[in-house]
Structure 1
Amino acid sequence: MQIEIITIGNELLIGQVIDTNSAWMGQQLNDAGFDVHRITSIQDTREAITSALTEAMSRVDVVLLTGGIGPTKDDITKETLASIFNSRLIYSQEAHDNMTRLLKGRVKGINKQNESQAYVPECCELINNPVGTAPVMWFDEEGKVIVSMPGVPGEMKTAMRNEIIPRLKKKYKTGHILHQTIQIFNIPEAVLAEKLEGWEDTIPEYMSLAYLPSPGKIRLRLTAKTDNEERAHEDFNLLKDSLHAIVGQNVFAEKDVPANKLIGDKLKELNRTISVAESCTGGNIGHLLTSVPGSSVYFKGGIVAYDNAIKAQVLNVDNEALEQFGAVSKQVVEQMARGVKELMKTDYAIATSGIAGPDGGTDEKPVGAVWIAIAGDFGVMSHCYNFGKIRSRNIQRASDAGLIMLLQKINNKLH
């Protein structure tokens, strides 16, 4: 059984509003064992809705729509659905009562625009919307299920969790869709694919593999569609073991969790602390670390040492090293890591110094050259990367690289 998702609204197509609904819905449906076949965003017009829904119904068993059922004139989904299913809009006392309850104390009276939301297609089953005035409508037409929900994320999520997914699970038998994600660092996608050519041939037929690249990282996602969860987990473990034998030095995680969350979890587990000294990353590593709830337990602080004077005066970097080797060097970045660790009195530290670009590079130190150092009870380690010429990407890749370097070192030390 396959599902399509259609999100409705011109605002989605011009980039004024980002479509987060379909991503959330896809994840929830996948977790419930449903196969999402396609996701489409369309204009808020009768022609677009009619065409998209008609085509979707020819391909799949269930179509889920969000948007276009508000109280304003540009919301025409209800009228269009009534037309598609040769129905008419009728007054629903249930919808009116729900709206009255929700608007009580918020407005002086229900106006014509609000009142219009009490009209729904005669052929639909009305599903209560406890958090909004727009109705949730369930259609069962010629063996196909079509559900129209509000585009407001909170209202849609409430409907999906409380009503739509439970009803779909009751109506359709689903198996299990299981995922195993392995995250790999600092190896190009084409090189990785060449290394894993033989490994891919060992993947069971009931599984599929996807490469999900992002700057500096690749997520390998194994997907199993099966009724035998135990067998799937056994096969996942065998595949992970054989993968480690090929590229284990590049693997930094076996779950789909970002590096800042992974290192935070590890630091909490070990009851350790961290600080950062950043030059080219401009505080981005500190931002990533503190974006995780509860990070105050392990993150003590950071220094953005963009100017060499700050490197020397605050982090105790030798002026001689700055003059002889330059700010973008092994010697300087290692002293930065050691200096912030001592200053903040933390167990670990990460330091960065590089040329983010787009200008400032030389033949010896081109744009994208970044030295990263980590410090801990293992001493100080550093590595020079060349990330390319795009400034924003260099900052992001350097930030991730620092976090992953430390995570890998801690894990190797533990094992």
Structure 2
Amino acid sequence: MPRYLASDVSVREAWAWAMYDFANSGYTTIVITAIFNAYFVAVVAEDAPWATLAWTLSLALSYALIVLTAPLIGAYADAYAAKKRLLLLTTVGCVAFTAALAFAGPGGLWIAIPLLVLSNFFYGSGENLIAAFLPELAREDAIGSVSGWGWSLGYVGGLVSLGACLAYVNWAQTRGDTAADFVPVTMLITAALFALASVPTFLILKERAQPQPHLAGMNMVQESFARLAQTVRHAARYRDLWRFLVCTVFYQAGIQAVITLAAIYAQQAMKFDTQQTLMLIFVVNVTAAVGAFAFGHLQDRIGHIPAIALTLFGWLVMVVLAWAAEGPGLFWVAANIAGLCMGASQSAGRALVGLFSPVSRRAEFFGLWGLAVKLSAILGPVTYGLVSWLTHGDHRLAILITGSYFLIGLLILAGVDAKRGHKAAMEDT
């Protein structure tokens, strides 16, 4: 493993960085993918016809806030060498608001929506910041492998959270408890595991960045805007980065729809119960961990662009199978293909942004990546929610239409040149 890391990075520090992926994955697994989303639709919104749309619009609001703030947070983190301090702030925010979701009960949209928006905002902001450490830790020719380790460990973290919640749900159901009784407790479990597992990151991971020369006569907010404006003015120099960010918006739109609506689709279209849905998500997390780890090494061998293209073909196959599935057998096949592609495509995308990022603007460029991902998290789920609402609950058509974003992403990806993009980043270092 040391041969994959930068000369001044220890295995222990790389593990501490990856542990943040382990820690925060419980949030997406439990709140966004497996438990709280279906609970929101069926219990909090009381199965109203607009419930799925309300869920996707709530998330869209949180992602819109990230879109507005991510590049500025990144610019500030670069200017003041503050990635780790800001990461601590976002972690505390996500943990606190996730725990507070325990108060969201039947009909409690007034509390569920604000807490969901805030918890997801802090989660997404922290996700961008931890990613910005990647180019500091990995050797240039192994950035895909190291990214894959982190992402695969993240899915293991999701499995730990899901396993703990599944064990509690099974126990609670044997007592005759309803979802309104046991889902709030899973929010507390998720928050506690996030807080505990992130401790190694803050104790061991180093902030290697140095404060940048500050712009005279500007406060930190003005300087963040000025640095962002400078990047936009020099956009032509980073044309492959920008093209890939546009590509990311589209292919991630499909991924985010799957992540956000997997449990809802399983229960509404395939008629899975809570226990079946949790088991499905559990198994998919296993395949996602395998996909992230295996593709991390593969992309360093065959190249980042071919690796991402391969996963997008896989996503297209998954969408067709999920749409065609009439019973659980074919749907399970589709779900596990999604798992393999999910870990691989997300890890590969993060690695490619690291390759395109100048040393002095890593947090800022990962903030732009976060902006693209969060735009996609608005586009994909809202598309799905609108189609399901307009068609009076046709989830099969919704997944099929959302899947078209993978095809668009594949077409845009064909114009990205990894070597040219990396050369532009090195010339600006």
Q: Which TM-score bucket, shorter chain as reference?
A: under 0.3
TM-score normalised according to structure 2 size: 0.22
- Structure ranking higher on relative contact order (CA contacts 8 Å, 6+ apart): 2
TM-score normalised according to structure 1 size: 0.22
Q: 1 or 2, which has the higher helix percentage?
A: 2
Larger radius of gyration: 1
Q: 1 or 2, which has the higher strand percentage?
A: 1
